[in-house]
Amino acid sequence: MAELLLRQVRSSIGCRAPQRDTLRALGLGGVGRQSSRPDTADMRAMVRAVRHLVQVESTHDAGGAP
């Protein structure tokens, strides 16, 4: 399954409370923190809400080959 690698690149100071809550729900909470989440429509919507604060990379699983 594909995953999203998220890294917070900007501070949440000055952002609205819902955006700060979204960052916490994504597993982020400070500049430089990283998190990995499944690539689902719900996660993409959350990332879209804070796209100005995070950097996103998409990874694909190899599918069982060690």
Q: Which CATH architecture has domain 3-59?
A: 2-Layer Sandwich (3.30)
What are the pLDDT digits (tens) for 10-41?
999 999 999 999 999 999 989 999 999 999 99
> Domain extents for the chain?
3-59
Q: What are phi and psi of 56, to 5 degrees?
A: -120, 135
C-alpha span between 14 and 39 (Å, rounded) = 28
Give pLDDT, residue 64.
55
Q: At what angle do helices 17-25 and 41-49 cross, to 10 degrees?
A: 140
Give pLDDT, residue 65.
53
DSSP 32: T
Q: What percent of the chain has pLDDT over 70?
A: 91
Give the predicted TM-score (pTM) of the model: 0.83
Give pLDDT, residue 56.
95
DSSP 39: -
Q: By the 8 A CB rule, do 23 and 31 touch?
A: no
